[in-house]
């Protein structure tokens, strides 16, 4: 089968990760979670005493951590300097600082380069999920999907994932992070002009997966 590159962008809580992983597994493609890479570099900054609110400090340290992503959709991994970072990158501390770190242009240049080399090395094709994949990282992707959902639906999904969190607080945090990710100068969260928008508010995860799989299969058949 032809190699295919699929870019899946959108804000958090739209089902991006679950959809991307399932689509990649179903179609035998590799999978890359680019948010995990931004979280990993943020975690490294926090554990190495870099002030994440100081863009100059973040920029000068950006090249130090070695971030490695495993791209098997059934077992995605992420390490920083050889250490398993899958757990620590999901803490509240990292989540609250990741927008600031990922807005620093030097960080984006490095991580974007890493993402492009991973996509180029994925022989059978890859599903890459993030915020700027269709617009900046892989503008020549074979298929671009932009997932959306109402803030209420997104907050409900996210608080379902995080034990003990309340929906109203999650909704506020989510809206704040989206605003920061959408308004930053360097490659903000945005829908590419040639992306297919899928509103997941009223859809089950299974329906979203089927919709994206169909879009990929149509693309492969056409091209
Ligand atoms: O998908 P996520 O919530 O794990 O992403 C964490 C943060 O990383 C998100 O708030 C913005 C940033 N990010 C980014 O700037 N560009 C990407 N391609 C992916 C994530």
- Please state at what angle helix 151-161 crosses helix 167-183, rounded to 10 degrees: 110
Query: Where in the chain are the domains?
Result: 4-218
Can you give the pTM of this predicted structure? 0.95
More confident residue, 142 or 164: 142
CA of 11 to the centre of ligand 1 (A): 8
Pocket test for ligand 1, best of 15, 181, 187, 189 (most atoms within 8 A of CB): 181
Distance CA 32, CA 46 (A): 23
Report yes or no: 183 and 191 within 8 Å, Cβ to Cβ. Answer: no
**Eight-class DSSP state of 195:** P
Q: How far is the CA of 128 from the centre of ligand 1 (A)?
A: 12
The CATH superfamily of 4-218 is P-loop containing nucleotide triphosphate hydrolases (3.40.50.300)
- 129 CA: nearest ligand 1 atom: 18
Residue-level pLDDT at 10: 96
Predicted confidence band of residue 11 (pLDDT cuts 50, 70, 90): very high
Q: Whose CA is nearest to atom 8 of ligand 1?
A: 35
- Ligand 1 centroid distance, CA of 129 (Å): 9
Query: Which pLDDT value is given to residue 173?
Result: 87
In whole angstroms, what separates CA 213 from the centre of its chain?
A: 18
Q: Which of 34, 113, 187, 188 to mutate to test the pocket of ligand 1 (most atoms within 8 A of CB)?
A: 34
Does the pLDDT at position 163 exceed 80?
no
pLDDT tens, residue by residue, 106-150? 999 999 999 999 999 999 999 999 999 999 999 999 999 999 999
């Amino acid at each position: 089968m032809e190699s295919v590159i699929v870019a899946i962008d959108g804000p958090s809580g739209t089902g991006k990760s679950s959809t991307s992983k399932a689509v990649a597994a179903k179609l035998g493609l590799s999978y890359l979670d680019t948010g995990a890479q931004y979280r990993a570099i943020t975690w490294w900054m926090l554990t190495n005493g870099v002030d994440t609110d100081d863009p100059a400090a973040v920029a000068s340290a950006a090249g130090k951590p070695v971030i490695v992503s495993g791209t098997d959709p059934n077992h995605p991994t992420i390490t920083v300097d050889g250490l398993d970072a899958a757990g620590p990158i999901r803490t509240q501390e990292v989540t609250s600082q990741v927008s600031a770190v990922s807005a620093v242009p030097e960080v984006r240049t490095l991580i974007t380069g890493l993402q492009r080399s991973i996509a180029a090395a994925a022989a059978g094709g890859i599903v890459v999920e993030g915020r700027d994949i269709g617009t900046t990282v892989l503008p020549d992707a074979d298929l671009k999907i932009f997932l959306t959902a109402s803030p209420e639906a997104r907050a409900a999904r996210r608080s379902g994932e995080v034990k003990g969190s309340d929906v109203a607080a999650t909704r506020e945090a989510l809206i704040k992070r989206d605003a920061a990710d959408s308004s930053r100068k360097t490659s903000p969260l945005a829908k590419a002009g040639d992306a297919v928008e899928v509103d997941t508010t009223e859809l089950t995860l299974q329906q979203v997966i089927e919709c994206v799989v169909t879009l990929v299969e149509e693309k492969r058949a056409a091209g």
